[in-house]
Amino acid sequence: QVQLEESGGGLVQAGGSLRLSCAASGRTFSSRTKSWFRQAPGKEREFVAGISWNGARISYADSVKGRLTISRDNAKNTVSLQMNSLKPEDTAVYYCAVGRIGTTVADTSLENGMEYWGKGTLVAVSS
């Protein structure tokens, strides 16, 4: 059974940093794209960042460029999100996802391009 488990969320002051991690179990996903999405209270889930299977191609939402960094470790079957200079508007539940076979980085912003999802971890940024 495939499971994705996020960790690292919490409460932080504006300007602070957090590092989210997502560990996969049940299967290895070294050949799949991976993404982070988030859902703020009262809003729809939105794309945050995506990374190709080897890390050579990365995509970010405009709202997080220069502040958030996605990375992956295929040996550990993990994907991470380093979050710096956090803002109150970054407050959301953050989800990691694994892309379907054949999904490219260009498609990682599309929810229907993702096959597996974690349950999410809450990030709260106070002003």
CB atoms within 10 A of CB 39: 14
Q: How far apart are CA 101 and CA 123, in angstroms?
A: 29
Q: How far apart are CA 110 and CA 46, in angstroms?
A: 9
Burial, 66: exposed, middle or buried (Cβ in 10 Å; 0-12, 13-18, 19+)?
Answer: exposed
Where b means 16+ CB within 10 Å and e means fewer, 46-59 reads ebbbbbbbeeeeeb
Q: What is the pLDDT of residue 25?
A: 95
Strand, coil or helix: 106: helix
Query: Running along the chain, 127 residues long, what does each successive block of 10 average in pLDDT?
Result: 96 98 95 97 96 96 97 97 98 97 85 94 97
Contact 33, 52 (CB under 8 A): yes
Q: What is the pLDDT of residue 105?
A: 87
